């Protein structure tokens, strides 16, 4: 039976692995830590593909050379190569994007493309990530069924810079709608929430609702530590 590997993190991706792989053909193996992703371990599994729905570490070149590694990037590459694509897209006013399956190479998000499928950017970040996690498995099913040959990207690359936690502070010069977008684009577990400083406190915002004129959101008040003051 054909073997496949999924290397992924984040709760929505782990949930999708549990729900979706039983319906797919073949034998499926989950890798959650970089120490478990080695040439030796992959050789023992002999996977046809190694899929990366979300991975927080750079994949070693010897793995990319020996195995067909497929990642999923939330932009219409070559537009939007680089870090934190969801947040960068929303900040640029995009309401929809595509999820791209591409063959991984040593240059980040620069490999040839297997498939692109539309993805809505409505809702909070967690909503979008969960939609994307299910879409990933639809695309994986297509890839293992059709075995498409990936084609080179066409066009001038636009590179997204990875955002830092300090950039989650709410902007002072913004419209109500852009503030809503700013809050929702960071509203997912493990992501730094949109925040404001007030004296010795840090006010963090999530669960935002926008009615066209005003925002309602949940606010969590924390005493700032030396780390959060910087």
Collapsing DSSP states into helix, strand and coil, what is residue 49? strand
Looking at the structure, do residues 142 and 205 belong to the same domain, yes or no? no
pTM, 2 dp: 0.94
Would you state the structure tokens that stand for residue 132, as one six-digit string?
């994307």
Question: Residue 154: which CATH number?
Answer: 3.40.50.170
Phi, psi of 17 (to 5 degrees): -60, -45
| Listed range (44-58, 135-149, 213-227) with the worst mean pLDDT | 213-227
Q: Can you tell me the distance from the alpha carbon of 103 to that of 92, in angstroms, rounded to the nearest whole number? A: 26
Q: Which of 127, 142, 160 is the last residue of a domain?
A: 160
Give tens-digit pLDDT for 159-193: 999 999 999 999 999 999 999 999 999 999 999 99
Question: Residue 170: which CATH number?
Answer: 3.10.25.20
Query: For tokens 């669960």, what's the residue?
Result: 207
Q: Which of 133, 160, 187 is the last residue of a domain?
A: 160
Q: Is the pLDDT of residue 104 over 90?
A: yes
Q: Which of 160, 175, 198 is the last residue of a domain?
A: 160
Looking at the structure, do residues 19 and 36 belong to the same domain, yes or no? yes
The answer to whether the beta carbons of residues 121 and 131 sit under 8 Å apart is no
For the chain, how many structural domains are there in total? 2
Looking at the structure, do residues 136 and 47 belong to the same domain, yes or no? yes
CB atoms within 10 A of CB 12: 21
Q: Is the pLDDT of residue 131 over 70?
A: yes
Give tens-digit pLDDT for 203-217: 999 999 999 999 999
The answer to whether the beta carbons of residues 54 and 8 sit under 8 Å apart is yes
Give the E-state strand segments of 121-210 in sequence order. Answer: 158-160, 194-198, 201-210
Containing structural domain, residue 56: 3-160
Looking at the structure, do residues 171 and 77 belong to the same domain, yes or no? no
């Amino acid at each position: 039976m054909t073997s496949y590997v999924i290397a992924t993190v984040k709760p929505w991706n782990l949930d999708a692995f549990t729900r979706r792989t039983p319906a797919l053909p073949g034998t499926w193996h989950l890798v959650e830590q970089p120490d478990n992703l080695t040439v030796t371990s992959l050789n023992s599994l002999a996977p046809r593909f190694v899929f990366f729905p979300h991975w927080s570490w750079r994949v070693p070149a010897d793995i990319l050379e020996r195995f067909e590694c497929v990642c999923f990037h939330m932009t219409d590459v070559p537009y939007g190569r680089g870090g934190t694509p969801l947040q960068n897209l929303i900040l640029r006013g995009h309401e929809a994007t595509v999820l791209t399956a591409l063959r991984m190479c040593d240059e980040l998000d620069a490999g040839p493309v297997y498939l692109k499928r539309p993805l809505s950017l409505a809702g909070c970040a967690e909503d979008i990530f969960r939609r994307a996690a299910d879409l990933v498995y639809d695309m994986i099913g297509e890839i293992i069924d059709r075995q498409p040959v990936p084609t080179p990207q066409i066009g001038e690359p636009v590179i997204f810079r990875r955002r830092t936690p300090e950039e989650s502070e709410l902007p002072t010069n913004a419209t109500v709608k852009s503030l809503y977008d700013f809050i929702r684009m960071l509203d997912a577990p493990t992501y730094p929430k949109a925040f404001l400083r007030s004296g010795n406190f840090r006010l963090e915002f999530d669960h935002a609702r926008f009615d066209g004129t005003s925002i309602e959101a949940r606010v969590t008040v924390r005493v700032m530590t030396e780390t959060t003051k910087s």
